[in-house]
Amino acid sequence: MKTLMDQSTNKVTIVGKLLDATFNSGKTKAGVPYERANITVRVAQHYGDHDEVSEIPVSMFASQFTQKGTLNPAWQSIQDLRKMKTAQDHGIDGADTVRITGANIRENNFVSKSGQLVTGWQINTSFVNAGNTPEVASFILDIFIMDMTDELDRDGDPTGRLIIKGALVQYGGKLDVLQFIVENPDAVDYISSHWNPNDTNTVKGRIRVTSTEEKSAPSTSSWGEDVPDTTTRMVRELIITKGDDEGKEEDFAYDPVEIKKGFNARKAEIEQLQIDAKNKSTAPAPAATSNKYTWE
């Protein structure tokens, strides 16, 4: 069986319009120059009965030189990216279409200012090239199925969608846990009958990053104008559209004991993350140097 040293298949492909790009540079502790870039790609894609537009953030990082001292191609890719046209500067019609292949997805956890643990995912790539249609945001991953549950709405009623908690083995034996959605009714029926927790499966699907407006429930008050209150909610989902017929054979499947080891290490990292955030929030504030107001 596979162990934590066997990295999961992790392939992300994105083709779409370059909305914006930000850059910052610096030096590592060893004095090696590096550069970061954060871009957003607008993807108008069609799959199943869906026509939707996603705005997908992608992160890049590269040192200027390789360990051999030669110029890093990934760093050069960021320099080439600087020359591309964004919708922010040239409008959506004038923006360049970019193609991102060889990207990967990984878990991204942090503690918010309110002290709440926020779990999510981010996409990283080393190269951005000029692209053309059709636009797409897709993934191919090998996941270890940890759990499968029916999605419920706020009232506790089933939505018809299936939630899959899947473990992804990253480089160096690090275990990430991601949430996937199955929404096609036929796919939900098939997976519910043929997939099981502790299976290892290859899954294919689409990346959705959209926003939706939600209206509050009408007031129960018997008088006055009922002003509707709407909030905008960001939707970030990994939609499974295809996969193996059933779990992989033992030689190609992950050992549940190994996954448990990785999960325990991940749990310890998250707990430390929360402890560090709590200690930072309770640290004493710097002493005030003056009690005078700016106009005094």
pLDDT in tens, 41-85: 999 999 988 899 999 999 999 999 998 999 999 999 999 999 999
Look at residue 223 and tell me whether its pLDDT is greater than 80: no
Residue bearing tokens 């295809």: 242
Burial-class residue 202 by CB neighbours within 10 Å (0-12, 13-18, 19+): middle
Q: The whole model's pTM is what? A: 0.90
The per-residue pLDDT for 231 is 79
**Average pLDDT for 133-161:** 96
What is the pLDDT, as a whole number, of residue 294?
A: 39
Compute the distance between CA of residue 275 and CA of residue 148 in angstroms, rounded to an integer.
30
Q: Which CATH architecture has domain 10-213+232-279?
A: Beta Barrel (2.40)
DSSP 133: S
Report residue 18's pLDDT band, with 50, 70 and 90 as the boundaries.
Answer: very high
CA neighbor of 82 nearest in space, from 157, 5, 21: 21
